[in-house]
């Protein structure tokens, strides 16, 4: 593997890259998957749904909706404090549950995962479960591919976010960028499931306002917003694929305690290598095949990653690996 020398040189000289890093090989996960399975075929036994996914999601949804109703007469300051220190963890957990469900890792029947994703979406306040799956699966099949992988910042973002202040604002608003970027760069016509997601979500939102008032709904929306911005759990958005050092590595794992609350999304190399393994079992991949992961750069703190991203003058939205659509990538989509 390798990427263009100009961007590498800019990083080494302490200057923020002005272009994306370009790789001239296929994404690394498919080849590593073949190597690991060749040596450790027993890993296939980890494939399949998490039998406890429904219970975990139901508990988080119930607790968050109850909390919203409980706060219907609370002051806005209390609502904001509870949204940041409590509700944000639940809603981000549910966002990552939706990520898990996009890979059909709760039920063997895909449509059941879709319905559960719409249910998990309820406390988030904004309909996103069905649309997220459309774009996220492309992120796996076409990692880094220019114009297809919507996980990569747009040129507009990269050209505007160039210093500590603009990077701080970008981090606070990163959920908006993730949500709106595909709609501007690669819009897809909505289908029946998007309408179902939309109608159910708006019905829940309207019900909350009708029975408990705007403060209850405001708590849910704030929990989503603050949990996806300057928040420890949101560090995974940056840690997963941003390049902090001159290297050919483009996916990074996090091995820290917040994996317990985030469906182990921190095991991100392992997840991209084996997207059919649920988060509850991803740690076993590293245990079975440690030699494939122990020499890869990894992290132990998402909060530190956010601070590094903001303060490191060499890192910004351009610090992502891109590649052109290859023949092998096209075959994956067939």
**Interior angle at CA 32, CA 30 and CA 37, nearest 5:** 95
List CB contacts of 75: < 8 A, sequence separation 6 or more.
none
Residue 276 pLDDT grade (very low, low, confident, very high; cuts 50, 70, 90): very high
Distance CA(248)–CA(8), nearest Å, equals 10
User: Is the model's pLDDT at 334 over the cut of 50?
Assistant: no
User: Is the model's pLDDT at 14 over the cut of 70?
Assistant: no
Percent of the chain with pLDDT over 70: 93
12 vs 23 pLDDT, higher one? 23
pLDDT in tens, 184-207: 999 999 999 999 999 999 999 999
Percent of the chain with pLDDT over 90: 89
Distances 61 to 26, 107, 156 between C-alpha atoms, Å: 39, 18, 36
Residue 212 pLDDT grade (very low, low, confident, very high; cuts 50, 70, 90): very high
Tokens of 167: 């990077």
Cα-to-chain-centroid distance, residue 133: 11
pLDDT in tens, 112-159: 999 999 999 999 999 999 999 999 999 999 999 999 999 999 999 999
Q: What is the pLDDT of residue 226?
A: 96
Distance CA(333)–CA(53), nearest Å, equals 28
Distance CA(15)–CA(24), nearest Å, equals 23
Q: What is the pLDDT of residue 4?
A: 52
Residue 1 pLDDT grade (very low, low, confident, very high; cuts 50, 70, 90): very low
307-332 average pLDDT score: 84
- Domain ranges within the chain, ordered by starting residue: 5-333
Q: What is the pLDDT of residue 248?
A: 85
User: Is the model's pLDDT at 43 over the cut of 60?
Assistant: yes
Q: What is the pLDDT of residue 12?
A: 57
């Amino acid at each position: 593997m390798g990427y263009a020398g100009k961007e590498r040189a800019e990083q080494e000289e302490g200057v923020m890259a002005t272009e994306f890093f370009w790789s001239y090989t296929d994404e690394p996960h498919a080849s590593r998957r073949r190597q690991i399975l060749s040596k450790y075929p027993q890993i296939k036994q980890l494939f399949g749904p998490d039998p406890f996914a429904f219970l975990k999601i139901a508990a988080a949804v119930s607790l968050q909706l109850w909390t919203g109703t409980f706060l219907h007469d609370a002051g806005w300051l209390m609502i904001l404090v509870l949204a940041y220190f409590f509700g944000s963890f639940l809603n981000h957990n549910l966002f990552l549950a939706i990520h898990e469900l996009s890979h059909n890792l709760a039920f063997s029947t895909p449509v059941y995962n879709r319905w559960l994703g719409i249910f998990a979406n309820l406390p988030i306040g904004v309909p996103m479960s069905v649309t997220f799956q459309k774009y996220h699966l492309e992120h796996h099949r076409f990692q880094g591919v220019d114009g297809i992988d919507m996980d990569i910042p747009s040129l507009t973002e990269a050209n505007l976010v160039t210093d500590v202040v603009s990077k701080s604002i970008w981090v606070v608003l990163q959920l908006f960028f993730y949500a709106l970027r595909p709609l501007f760069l690669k819009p897809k016509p909505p289908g029946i499931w998007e309408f179902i997601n939309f109608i159910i979500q708006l019905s829940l939102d309207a019900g909350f306002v009708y029975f408990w008032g705007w403060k209850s709904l405001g708590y849910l929306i704030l929990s989503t917003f603050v949990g996806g911005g300057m928040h420890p759990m949101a560090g995974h958005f940056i840690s997963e694929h941003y390049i902090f050092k001159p290297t050919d590595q483009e996916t990074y794992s996090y091995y820290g305690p917040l994996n317990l609350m985030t469906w182990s999304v921190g095991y991100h190399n392992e997840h991209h290598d084996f997207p059919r393994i649920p988060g509850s079992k991803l740690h076993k991949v590293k245990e079975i095949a440690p030699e494939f992961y122990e020499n890869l750069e990894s992290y132990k703190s998402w909060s530190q990653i956010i601070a590094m991203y903001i303060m490191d003058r060499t890192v910004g939205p351009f610090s992502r690996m891109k590649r052109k659509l290859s023949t092998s990538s096209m075959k994956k989509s067939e």
